[in-house]
Amino acid sequence: MPHLVILYSGNLDRDLDMTAVCRGLADAMNSVEDDDGKPVFPIGGTRGRDSPAPHFGGSDGGRAGPAAGESGDYGFMYFNLRMARGRSEATQQRVGEVVSAAARELLAPLKQARRVGLTFQIDVGAEVYDAKFGNLHDLFQKGAR
C-alpha cells in the first residue's frame, strides 16, 4: 500500500501521457512524510496504475459544450487512493493535499485543452484479507531508499 487507481474516459488518451501522470503521482505519494518526518508509505509498496474506459457516458451527453461554443467531447478521471489503516487523520489529510496538488499540476494542460470531470478520493477502509507476497520490498529493505 498505497495503491492509486485511476479510471478515466478513453477519449483522454490522445491528450495525456498517462505513464507520466502515474509516475508523477507515485512520486508525490513517496514524498509525503508523517508527523515524525518519516515517509508515510514504504517505497516498495507505492503503486499507481490507470484503466481507460473505452465506453463511457456522463454529464449531458455533450449538449452544453456546443451551445457554449465548445466541444461536447467531455472526459473524466476518477482517482482512488487506497491506503492501509493506522495513519493519523492529519497524515491522511496531508497525503490528500500533496497528491491532489500534484494531480492539479499534472492535469493543468488537460483542463486548458478540454472539459473534464476530476474526482479524487482516499479510501482507508477495513481490510478483510490482506496478503503481500511479492519480492519488491526486499530490494528496498536492503538499504536503498
Number of H helices, E strands in the chain: 4, 4
Supply the range of the domain harboring residue 101. Answer: 3-56+73-140
50-79 confidence digits (pLDDT tens)? 999 999 888 888 888 898 998 989 999 999
pLDDT at 97: 96
Least confident of 44-53, 76-85, 125-134: 125-134
CATH number at residue 89: 3.30.429.10
Residue 38 has pLDDT above 80, yes or no: yes
105 domain residue, yes or no? yes
Residue 120 has pLDDT above 70, yes or no: yes
Backbone phi and psi for residue 15, each to the nearest 5 degrees, phi listed first: -110, -5
12 domain residue, yes or no? yes
67 domain residue, yes or no? no
Q: Whole-prediction pTM value?
A: 0.86
Neighbours of 100 (CB within 10 A): 17
Domain count for the chain, please give it.
1
Q: Which of 83, 30, 19 is nearest to 52 (CA)?
A: 19
118 domain residue, yes or no? yes
62 domain residue, yes or no? no
Residue 125 has pLDDT above 90, yes or no: no
pLDDT at 115: 93
Residue 144 has pLDDT above 60, yes or no: no
66 domain residue, yes or no? no
42 domain residue, yes or no? yes
Q: Give dist(CA 105, CA 112) in Å, integer.
A: 12
116 domain residue, yes or no? yes
At 9, is the pLDDT very low, low, confident or very high (cuts 50, 70, 90)? very high
